[in-house]
Structure 1
Amino acid sequence: MDPVRCITVWCPDWPVVAAAQEAGCAKDTPVAVIVKGRVYACNAPARADGVRRDLRVREAQARCPELAVLPYDPAVDARAFEPIVAAVEAIAPGVEVIRPGMCAVRARGPARYFGGEEEFAERLRAHLVEQANAHTVIGIADGPFAAEQAARQAERHKNHVHVFPPGESAEHLAGLNINLLDRPDLVDLLRRLGIRTLGAFAELPAGRVLERFGIDGALAHRLAAGHDDRPFASRRPPPELATSVEFEPPLDRVDQVAFAIKSAAERLVDALADRDLVCTCLRVDVTTERGADAAQVKSRQWRHPRWFSANDVVDRVRWQLQGLWGSTQEEDSEEATFGVLRVQLFPEDAAPTGAYQDGLWGDQAPDERVHRALTRVQSMLGHEAVLTAILSGGRSPADRVTFVPWGDEPTPARVPDQPWPGQLPDPPPSTVLTAPTPVEVLGADQQRVELTDRGLLTADPARFDQREISHWAGPWLVEERWWDAAAARRYARFQVVCADGAGYALLYERGRWWLEASYD
């Protein structure tokens, strides 16, 4: 079977792009994505300062003090790539997702329609810039493997598109490094045998390669020789589940919009049920018209502790409209100061129905009445008006709490199960002060207790602010950003128990003592 002509779309440094986008980093910020304490990927500004893959985090930060260090999350990687795949599917159906950041399509159909392979590649790249604002390079060759190497050649030579002509992929692959096969064990063995390039590997007899290296080695041998005849695993585009209702003339009453949207909400819930899915996160886009002004789209995302029924969807639309129109009353008949042209419903998160069935002993989800009351407050005061606290990672007691808007995914700002040197041991304090309070810690001789540069106390703590200390533990030393003189911090934390049984967390920094938190 002859290899299929393939067009591969590659977004360079994609793990960094996705993580930086999720974290809200500026484009010129040096960023590195970390896996197990080592650099997994980094962007161009980081590489300009000497950051490289597989460096330890501390060495990378020493080379680039401004480096933003982000954890690698495959879910973020895949989720951020979905809009780009959808944009490719819009003009070239039958996309094969090789991995997040890289996808491929057959060249034959689109090339005929757009007048040639390179013409289609340029059209596709312009479409991705317009629809997804994505930096991409495109490679065209015989088979996905050769097309991927063509895309890498395009990035290396600062081109938008690079083409291996039909039947010439083997010649273009011959001089490339054997590491591109992405088979560490096989590559290590080949290197010990003196084989350094794909061309040298391709020159070996196919039968001897199969005999010596097995099926996987034979497949790698065909890739190196430009004979990538693997079946093209194009994905089926996801069904379009979003629904919308348009109003002509525009409606200006809450009850009218709520009544009109009910059938659309039922269609949405039924369409999900037909696929054995439920919606747990819904986005509502309301297009409004205010007098002679241009139409405006007001968008809000709603999350449900279980899943949305049709009535739940109608309620969220009603609450969103009341929030937009400034209504704080219960009457749905209040008239608006502007009309509604369109309401669109988008199921942002859908999950299998079985994941949200009631347990054997009853439902474990939050009380629905509580959820409705808090969501109603959000609709009137804003999404950030109702917050819940979840355990987060960090060294200080304040850092270990992340406040998340009610209904949002309970994602901590910092991963709690990572090592945090200098963190106070469990249990965490029950009360954390908004701002630390200065205190004086004295020894038995009524002299002020200090902490030496070696992390030793000048005396055992006996009292602080008229409280007698019966037991104490510490110090837990922390030295942060030692490479940056302006931002460097060196401090220590202590736990103390007073004679009355009350416990406290104390901080010592730059010759001063502070009260940070208390234990009940």
Structure 2
Amino acid sequence: MRVAALWFPDWPIQAAHLTGNDPLWVLAIVESQRIRTCSSSARGRGVSRGMRIRQAKAVCPELVLLDHDPDRDARVFESIIAALDELAALVEVLRPGLVIVDIRAAGKFHGSEDAAVELLIDAVSHHGVYACVGVADEIPTALIAARTGIGKVVPEGCSAEFLAEQPLALLTAEVSLHCEPEVVANLQQLGISTLGELAALSVTAVATRFGCAGLACHRIARAEQHRRVASRSPDLELRVSVTPEDPIDRVDAAAFVARHLAALLHTRLEEAGLNCVRLRIHVKLAEDKGVERIWRTTGVLSESATADRVRWQLDSWLTLGGIGPILALTLDPLETVIPEHAGQLWRAGEAGDAALADTAIGRAQSLLGVEAVLQPRLAGGRGVVERIDFLAYGADNQSGEPAAEGVKLVPGRVPSPLPARLGPGYSHPAARVRLLDAAGDDVSVQAEALLSAFPHTLRWGRERFQVTGWAGPWPVDLSWWALESSRVARLQVVGQSALESHPRAWLLIWIGGGTSWRVEAIYD
């Protein structure tokens, strides 16, 4: 196999120019208050990727900012793909701004490989955009060849020699290679700077230290053939289709159908124990006509990634393609793989678990709802329960600043370290304890936020502990502005039972208006 990869540098910038923005502008695409992509003229003035907007405007006041719009990038890219379809039969999209072509098949049709490459470049130039072309025997090698400056044609059988001289950082320069930045950074810290040095390592050493994520990088460095363009379709019938009651002629309706069909497809894939890496999107039009497009990824297409690609494609066809109403939509997984971590979510000491966990959590959210899977974060509170907040997994912190930064500013907070376990709950009878002084009287918190006596004994049910240390109290006047305000105080207590050889520690909470203490949390 011979593969040609066409990489469109700074594609969001080129797409913005094609949609009417002046090419003479010093342009940058922003996302989350940072520079995501910038034009070459902006880079020449000191703007770089990842820079904050305020810093970028300081070094380049004439910088024009546009919001990141993946829908626009995919919609504009469709016209480029259509032009390439006229020249090659097997064109697959990895992402907006990057496609691969079976250049051997195209070369047989057009006379030679070089002639086919020239025709592809001419077709791209005709649309007013530019691309770098890399040709090699394997898909990853072709992607790396395309990103080496102006592109490169690697002679047949010479992939290993070409890759040996390439810097290791190229593995993370292209996201479609799906190489984990953390693994690449660890390899660089070990002194490995080129792909040739990585390929020289033994498979056992890489697998032992870096797991499957390291092996993926190692296979690329060794130029091992992983998958082919237009691979054999799976034997199972996994395609899913939908025929809406009313023809689809609006983008919002297409987005809804895309999400529904993606969920249905991944349900079938889950039942079969497979992941999709190559997807065909086919729509049926009036008069028995139809159009289709193939999307490929070197990683695994998640449910959300599948829905995004289907939505982008339908948006392109409806907005720019002028194809008319869509009568039916079909998703056909042309290539599937068995998950490398089948049946396992986290494995100690192995890289790639974070991406695997994201896939599993994304599937759980699609089945149960976004709010059904929560992740903890530090919040600005005083007690243990108040210091932890829960958000839907993947949701952004909308406060603008990390919540943990505000914890230090809260008066009356319990100092670190925090307890490891929560108690039964304030209202649960099992949480009630008695704190006694040496005379056997109950210890309470006075109006001056002082203890009425020194703690001597803690009684929890039938157990009795002699207090060997304590700290506090930390008083809090809750809702002091209301008519029915309440005062609470927290106390750290260490006690020793006569029947045990080791002490215990608790965080107690006292609620004003009585002498009752409750166990809020337990130190381990």
More strand by share: 1
Q: Say yes or no: TM over 0.5.
A: no
TM-score band, normalised by shorter chain = 0.3 to 0.5
